[in-house]
Copies of this chain bind each other. A is one copy, B any other.
Amino acid sequence: MARPQSPRGQGRRRVIDAAVELFAEHGVRGTSLQMIAEHLGVTKAAVYYQFHAKEDIVLAVLEEALEDMAAFVSAAEAEPSPDAAATAALRGLVDLMVGHRKAVAALMRDPEVERIMAAHADLDSLVGRLTALLLGPSPTVRRRIAVSVVGAGVAQAGIDPMLADVDDETLRAQLLELGPTMLARG
């Protein structure tokens, strides 16, 4: 999703991307602003100018993902039929997980992230709206099970270390083929 890019915005972007790489390698706990600065070849003050604490970077990553999620959920809700809405929701979920693949893998199992996410009231409501879209009106048990499997499966495929060698485009295309097949059986 395009965002306004000021020079400051580009600096933010570079810090966020470097942080995500280091989070993936060392965990949030094992990463410091100093390490991020070294990774970028800048001073710690330059990083500090963008973010005063690594928790703020985690928050920025999560905010980006939540904004993307809110955007595609709203768009899917505006689709004219339940089928079109479910398809759009699934496509949005796949794009979200594949697009933020590295960040999700880095942050997924971090206890600090779980605390931040648990405190984020928006997330529950977004997940609820997304689930409702995937289920459609009056879902059968079969459909409910398919939604559970697809949701967890898409999330997992994005972070599965065994699929680390699969490029984003291939992963996205395959997930978009698998998902509707399963939901259609509902």
- Measured CB to CB, the residues of A under 8 A from B are 131, 141-142, 144-146, 148-157, 160, 162-163, 166, 170-171, 174-175, 177-178, 181-182, 185
Do the beta carbons of A145 and B131 come within 8 Å of each other? no
A160 touches B148 (CB 8 A): yes
Bound CA span A156–B154, Å: 11
| A149-B157, A157-B149 known; A162+B181 contact, CB < 8 A | no
Copies of this chain, tallied across the complex: 2
Looking at the assembled complex, report how far the CB atom of A81 sits from the nearest CB atom of chain B, in whole angstroms: 23
Q: Report yes or no: A185 in contact with B177, Cβ–Cβ below 8 A.
A: yes
Q: Smallest Cβ distance from A69 to chain B, in angstroms?
A: 18
A-B contact pairs, 24 of them (CB 8 A): A131-B162, A141-B166, A144-B162, A144-B163, A145-B157, A145-B163, A145-B178, A146-B174, A148-B153, A148-B156, A148-B163, A149-B150, A149-B154, A149-B156, A149-B157, A149-B175, A150-B153, A152-B156, A152-B157, A152-B160, A153-B156, A156-B156, A177-B185, A181-B185
